[in-house]
A and B are shown apart, each in its own frame.
Chain A
Amino acid sequence: MALRAGCAAAPGRALENKTGAWRVFKPVFEPEKCTKCGMCALVCPEGCVRETEEGTFEPDLDYCKGCGICVEICPKKGIRMEKEEK
């Protein structure tokens, strides 16, 4: 990459830094338990929990680091962590 004066770059460049490989455990969402409260998306430090067309939620595993905060916050215990199989 050629350096650009002032360390300038177009926005969104952080999307190139995929952090999904950092995980040991991954979150597994159970849509049938979901009340669509959206707390999981709100607390996700990566901002990688997205709303589906049905109004339930799912993580973008390209970026999810496996921190498990969504599991802690879910009032219906509808998310669990599972060991990542590599």
Chain B
Amino acid sequence: MLEFMEGSHAVAEIVKRCRPQVIAAYPITPQTHIVEDLAQMVANCEIDAEYITVESEFSALSACLGASAAGSRVYSATTSQGLALMFEVCFNAAGMRQPIVMTIANRSLGAPLSIWNDQQDSISLRDSGWLQFYAEDNQEAADLHMIAYKVCEDHDVLLPAFVCFDGFILTHTYEPVTLPTQEEVDAYLPAFTPYQRLDAANPLSLGMYATPEYYMEFRYEVDRAMERAKQAFIKAGREFGEQFGRDYSALVEGYRLEDADTALVAMGSICGTAKDAIDEMREHGRKVGLLKIRTYRPFPAQEIANALKGVSTVAVLDKNISLGNGGAVGIEVKSALYGSGAAVYDYIIALGGRDVRKKDIAAVVDLAEKGKGDMFYGLRTEVL
């Protein structure tokens, strides 16, 4: 049944139904509504969870790491500078193979200070060993949390995950969402079975130091787990589709790509606007499609190459910039399409919350088809 609610509330409701045992988070715009809702639910005894109030994001994720190592299903949420403060703990959580699920309400990073949306925060943690999933709308944002727990806790994976959804654009938007019941969630997501856990009666240390003889092998193992996460995601997404009718088994999802000459590639809420823009361009006879990347980590390079076979021009929309070398998604799409013959152009777009309209998407397609790319789109040259 569709219900009308705010994106943050939909995520909080679904997190509640995933039955986390420990929640630790520090409030930061635009993530606040999620953790306020969850704190309220814990206070009302709607969830049997420990809510740990902390003095910083570093402590929030540290508390989650400890609780996860002790065998609990844990949850956190953050964004932007808060995620930046978690940097060290993020690497430790992945290296210690703890299946923590954390929502990222995507926001730009300072300076200059900006509370508005882009995807610089999670993209900047791309090498940390966390899985990264991006949602196009609030339904997908809610659903991906259930899938994330299933994938992370798979003993073939044992890695933490970011579920990323665009700050304000999704977190603060009210729209219809279908929420599964507690019984349905329980049927999909079994209780957490730790692979190993801290236990006073049988002591264990995690993340011990590894000398040069061992360190590389541990990193290799994390990378292998990332690779296995692809199959785990496909399986969990297919099972989700079988139970709830919304199939998430695709790491990348094409929209009107079948006969497309030009393909946009994007992640997150911009995909919705792009789809409407593509429908309009199609009405004018333009053969344009979209490839939406759902899992940025692990990066579905082969799936992207397969999906874009036969496309002559590719325009990547990057809501981030790897300063000094263009957008992070563009760099990786170019690598995935190396040797394919397609012309791949990258567009830095919508940084710091700048609005994207259908006409902007059409303008990017025009630029790409004229061979102009690898640029910031929509710069206000009068202030430069």
State whether A6 touches B203 (Cβ < 8 A).
no
> Knowing A3-B217, A3-B218, A3-B221 touch, does A8 contact B158 (C-beta < 8 A)?
no
Instruction: Count how many chain B residues have C-beta atoms less than 8 Å from C-beta atoms of the other chain.
Output: 19
Q: Report B204-237 CB contacts with A as 1/0, cut-off 8 Å.
A: 1111111000100110010000000000000000
State whether A5 touches B195 (Cβ < 8 A).
yes
User: Smallest distance from the beta carbon of B74 to chain A beta carbons, Å?
Assistant: 15
State whether A6 touches B98 (Cβ < 8 A).
yes
State whether B214 touches A3 (Cβ < 8 A).
yes
State whether A7 touches B207 (Cβ < 8 A).
yes
Q: Report A1-26 CB contacts with B as 1/0, cut-off 8 Å.
A: 00111111111010000000000000
> Knowing A3-B214, A6-B196, A7-B95 touch, does A13 contact B221 (C-beta < 8 A)?
no
CA–CA, A10 and B201, complex, Å: 11
Q: Does residue B97 face the partner (Cβ distance < 8 Å to A)?
A: yes
Chain A positions within 8 Å of B89 at CB level: none
Main secondary structure of the interface of B (DSSP, over half): loop
- In the complex, which of the residues A6, A9, A10, A13 contacts B95, with contact meaning CB atoms closer than 8 Å? A6
State whether A8 touches B214 (Cβ < 8 A).
no
State whether B206 touches A7 (Cβ < 8 A).
yes
Q: Which chain A residue shows the least CB distance to B198?
A: A8
- Using C-beta atoms within 8 Å of the partner chain, give the interface range for chain A: 10 to 19
State whether A10 touches B204 (Cβ < 8 A).
yes
Q: Within residues 168 to 221 of chain B, which ones have a CB less than 8 A from any CB in chain A?
A: 195-196, 203-210, 214, 217-218, 221
- In the complex, which of the residues B158, B195, B208 contacts A7, with contact meaning CB atoms closer than 8 Å? B208
Chain B positions within 8 Å of A6 at CB level: 95-98, 158, 196, 206-207
Chain B positions within 8 Å of A3 at CB level: 214, 217-218, 221
CA–CA, A8 and B196, complex, Å: 9
User: Smallest distance from the beta carbon of A19 to chain B beta carbons, Å?
Assistant: 14
User: Smallest distance from the beta carbon of A11 to chain B beta carbons, Å?
Assistant: 5
State whether B205 touches A8 (Cβ < 8 A).
yes
Can you list 30 pairs linking A and B with CB atoms under 8 Å apart? A3-B218, A5-B97, A5-B158, A5-B195, A5-B196, A5-B221, A6-B96, A6-B97, A6-B98, A6-B207, A7-B95, A7-B206, A7-B207, A7-B208, A7-B210, A7-B218, A8-B196, A8-B204, A8-B205, A8-B206, A8-B207, A8-B208, A9-B204, A9-B205, A9-B208, A10-B204, A11-B203, A11-B204, A11-B205, A13-B208
Listed in ascending order, the chain A residues whose CB lies under 8 Å from chain B are 3-11, 13
CB-based closest 7 A-B pairs: A6-B97, A6-B96, A5-B97, A11-B203, A7-B208, A9-B208, A6-B206
